[in-house]
Chains A and B, each alone.
Chain A
C-alpha cells in the first residue's frame, strides 16, 4: 500500500447471501474509510438490512469476506466492541427502565459500572432524552424508542456506527438533531454506515453513497461524482429578462458546452459547462460576459441534479436489466 493511501475501516469483498432460492446479496464489494458517512440506499427488499446484519455478525453463513479494521471477525472475537449498531426492527424488553437497559447493554459491551454511571446520562443527553432515565421503556413513544436505540449504539463509544434506517419514525426536529449528531460524530473520526430510503436525508449527510438494487450494488461513489456522472459537467440556471437574445453568444464561450432556453419560461436558461472544466474558471468567464453585455441577473443557481435522479437512473437500469 502506498504512503497516504487510506485503509478502509469496513471492507466488503464479494459478499453474497442467499435465502433459499432468493439472492439477497450478490457479490457486494465496497469499502468505507475512516470518518466517512456512507449512505446506503435502495428500494425496500433490496438487501440493505442483510448487508448491515452481515457486517455486525447477526448473519454469519454468507460467502465472501467482511473485514473490520483489516481483520476478519474470526481473527478478533471482540471485534463487535468496535461497532455500535442501531437495528431497524428491534424491540426492548419493556419491563426495563431506560437506565437499566443501557446499563445492561453497557456491561455486555465490556464497560464497567463506574464508566456507566457517567456515560448513561451523557449518552441520553446526546440523543435528546436527558430526563428519560427512570422511565419504563413501555411508556416511551416510538420516536423516543428510536432515540434509545441510538443511545445503546453510542453507549460504548464505538469507532464504527452501523445505523439501519436511523431517521425513520422521528419528527422533523428529532431528524434534524439526529443528522447533527451523525455529522458531529463523523467529525470526531467515527465511521458511519447508514441505510435509508429517504434520499433527502442521505443527500444531506452522506459523504459517500452506495446504491443497492435487487441484492446488487449498482453504484458506489461520492455524491458529487455520481451527480456529475449523470449530468456530464457542472451547470447553472440563470433567470434574466434580457438573456434570451444572447443564447448563441453564451454557447460560443470557450468553456460552455450548451445553453438552453427554458421551454416554459423565456427568461430562464440552463448553461452547462464542458465536462471536467474548472467550475470557478467557467463562472468567471460567464460573469465577465454578463457584465460586458449588461445582462441583468434576477436569479442564479448552481445546477445540482437531485440524488433522486441519480438513484432512479441506477435503480431503473437494474430493474430493466
Chain B
C-alpha cells in the first residue's frame, strides 16, 4: 500500500506541474471573473450558477483528453518499466493516476465555484435565502459534474491504454469520453421521483469502477 501513496503523491505533483492543469486551476476561475467584468449586468443570473455550468461543460471533456493523451504518451515512451521493476503493482499505477487527476480536477472545480460565490457575494444583489438556495443547487450540480468527470477520467485512461497514436486517443476521448460522462447527468433530466444528484453520484461511481476495472485488466496485459 505504501507504493500506492508514493505513486499518488508523485502523480499529483506531476499534474500540479503540468501546464494544462495549472491552466485549469487558473483558467476556469478566471473565466468566471472575466465573464463578470465583460457583462456585469446579468439580471438574475448568479455567477455561482454560471461557474457550475462552466465546470460541467468543459471539465469532463478536458479530463478525458488530458488523461488519454498522457497515458498514450507515457506508454509509447515506455516510462512504466522503471516503476514495474520495483515492488509496484500495475493496478496501483492506474489507480494513482486516476485519483491524482480527479483530485486536480476537483481543485479546479472548487476554485471556479468559489470564484463564482465570491463574485456573487461582492455583488450581493440577492436575498440571503435565495443565495443559499443557489449555493446548495450549485453544489449539487458540482457533485454531478464531478461524477461525470470521474467517468470521463476513467474512460480517458482506458482509451490512452488502448490507442497508440496520441492524436487518435485525443479524438476518441473527445467523442467517447464526453459521451460516456453524460451517463451521470442524464438520469436527473429524464427520471422523475429520484434524487438526481444522489442517482448521478451512484451511477458515476459504478461506471467509474467498471471502466477502471477494465483499464486495470488492459494494463495488466500490456507488455513493457
Contacts and interface: CB of A to CB of B under 8 A. Distances in A.
A92 B87 contact: no
Contact of B77 (A91, A109, A110): A91
B209 interface: no
Give the dominant DSSP class at A's interface.
loop
A95 B224 CA distance: 21
Nearest to A108: B86
A93 B14 contact: yes
A59 B223 contact: yes
Contacts of B78: 87, 89-91
A85 B85 contact: yes
B193 interface: no
A90 B84 contact: no
Give the dominant DSSP class at B's interface.
helix
A18 interface: no
Among A59, A77, A83, A85, residue most surrounded by chain B Cβ atoms (within 10 Å): A85
Nearest to A92: B79
A274 B18 CA distance: 70
A105 interface: yes
A44 interface: no
Contact of A80 (B7, B14, B86, B224): B86
Nearest to A136: B17
Interface of B: 3, 6-7, 10, 13-14, 17-18, 74, 77-79, 81-88, 223-224
Contacts of A109: 86-87
A58 B81 contact: yes
Interface string A62-101: 0000000000000001101101010101111101100010
Interface of A: 56-59, 77-78, 80-81, 83, 85, 87, 89-93, 95-96, 100, 104-105, 107-110, 152
A58 B85 contact: yes
A90 B79 contact: yes
A93 B100 CA distance: 15
B87 A95 contact: no
A108 B6 contact: yes
Among B18, B74, B85, B224, residue most surrounded by chain A Cβ atoms (within 10 Å): B85
B6 A107 contact: yes
Given A85-B85, A87-B81, A90-B81, 7 more contacts: A80-B86, A87-B78, A90-B82, A92-B77, A93-B79, A105-B86, A108-B88
A167 B13 CA distance: 32
Nearest to A156: B86
